[in-house]
A and B are shown apart, each in its own frame.
Chain A
């Protein structure tokens, strides 16, 4: 899993301000952040500026990263999402949105931390067990509006079909989270 390498790179940035590690993170994530923003409708230039800005936030916040609570990709997604929400608010001259931090310390109990890291692994495995239709619908839900009507347009499907695919994908994810942890490989 490439996430482990990226976990170490974020930790290197946090500990030593390691520019080489940052360059590796940048090479992997900046082009994906650009792709993500362009999918939400931004121009190439705006998406590039955004990717740079989000990666700068990764540099600044690296010491808040805790690989026991979130994988590198999830953490970087959350940072980028928060930057994007802030950007939208700033354009509307509004106060910043609440920070939605997947590393927020809900609890420092070891069993909670263990559950969190197991969840992360299991979620990644669970995605591979969704039907292709469910996976496509769920993925699109991260780019398009919450009514799912854009997803229906994009896939050329009735809205009800899209909604039921997303619902079923969520049910599957929940089932996997509710399964006892020992079945999971570390």
Chain B
């Protein structure tokens, strides 16, 4: 475990405020489910948000607003049933209720599937599963990308990422970390940009696969 592999304060603040993009929020929520110390910071920031809400100058609602709300309470049918769980019980809770696309082959020992979470423009959520000793696919960084390790571990030249660790990659990053655990490494990522398929296979596949 590496203490640095946590979201920046700005990102935790944006997550709490609800201003983080949806795909990034899904990855951060996953990290929080795995890291109580980050969840604690978010809980504290939510208390700050509550204080901020409490301190706002109120703006009166129309006179019949309460009556209308109570009338809706009368006829309220309750919460809509939550969507069903997906086929991967090993996923942390924040990822369990999203439908998942089919696994797709990206190269030797590398597979991905879409998580049907809200997108934000080109940015979407994917699961990546990479076998021991294999490298993650190269990808262009159109924007910031967030990765959270769910199981297994990968390493770059200088750093190691284990379950719960969050990696923030900037547009300048073009690294190709390698899986260093005995088991396959499963990650969830908010990806903004296109994956470049590795090697000749990628070059051959490119016309056929839109990743």
Which residues of chain A have a CB within 8 Å of any CB of chain B? Answer: 2-3, 19, 22-23, 26-27, 29-36, 38-39, 44, 47-48, 51-52, 55-56, 59-61, 69-78, 80-82, 84-85, 89, 92, 94-98, 100, 102, 106-107, 112, 115-116, 119-120, 123-124, 127, 138-139, 141-146, 148, 163, 166-167, 170, 173-174, 177
Besides A60-B76, A70-B43, A106-B39, 9 other A-B contacts (C-beta < 8 A):
A23-B66, A33-B53, A38-B59, A52-B68, A71-B50, A73-B47, A77-B49, A81-B18, A166-B10
The 9 closest A-B pairs by CB, nearest first: A73-B50, A74-B50, A31-B58, A146-B14, A94-B118, A81-B18, A170-B9, A123-B47, A35-B59
Q: Which residues of A contact B15 (CB under 8 A)?
A: 100
- A74 near B47: Cβ-Cβ < 8 Å: yes
- A119 near B66: Cβ-Cβ < 8 Å: no
Say which one of B20-28, B133-141, B179-187 lies at the interface with A. B20-28
Q: From DSSP, what is the main secondary structure of chain A's interface residues?
A: helix
Of B13, B52, B79, which one neighbours A60 at CB under 8 angstroms?
B79
A31-B59, A56-B72, A138-B48 known; A94+B17 contact, CB < 8 A: no
Q: From DSSP, what is the main secondary structure of chain B's interface residues?
A: helix
Within 66-100 of B, Cβ neighbours of A (below 8 Å) are at: 66, 68-70, 72-73, 76, 78-79, 83, 94, 98-99
A22-B73, A56-B73 known; A70+B65 contact, CB < 8 A: no
Is B46's beta carbon under 8 Å from chain A?
yes
Total inter-chain residue pairs, C-beta < 8 Å: 192
Q: Which residues of A contact B43 (CB under 8 A)?
A: 69-70, 74, 102, 116, 119-120
Of B48, B69, B83, B117, which one neighbours A127 at CB under 8 angstroms?
B48
A80–B18 alpha-carbon span in the complex (Å): 10
Of B10, B36, B50, B65, which one neighbours A106 at CB under 8 angstroms?
B36
Q: Which residues of B contact A116 (CB under 8 A)?
A: 40, 43
A112–B163 alpha-carbon span in the complex (Å): 22
- A95 near B56: Cβ-Cβ < 8 Å: no
**Which residue among A3, A32, A60 has the maximum number of chain B CB atoms within 10 Å of its CB?**
A32
Q: Which residues of A contact B57 (CB under 8 A)?
A: 35
Q: Which residues of A contact B73 (CB under 8 A)?
A: 19, 22, 56, 59
- A142 near B66: Cβ-Cβ < 8 Å: no
A39–B57 alpha-carbon span in the complex (Å): 11
Q: Within the complex, what minimum Cβ distance (angstroms) separates A54 from chain B? A: 10
Of B72, B78, B83, B119, which one neighbours A52 at CB under 8 angstroms?
B72
A27-B66, A60-B79, A119-B40 known; A102+B29 contact, CB < 8 A: no
- B56 near A70: Cβ-Cβ < 8 Å: no
Q: Within the complex, what minimum Cβ distance (angstroms) separates B138 from chain A? A: 28
Q: Which residues of A contact B156 (CB under 8 A)?
A: none
Q: Which residues of A contact B46 (CB under 8 A)?
A: 70, 74, 77-78, 102
Q: Which residues of A contact B25 (CB under 8 A)?
A: 85, 97-98, 100
A74-B47, A170-B13 known; A47+B59 contact, CB < 8 A: yes
- B36 near A107: Cβ-Cβ < 8 Å: yes
Is B157's beta carbon under 8 Å from chain A?
no
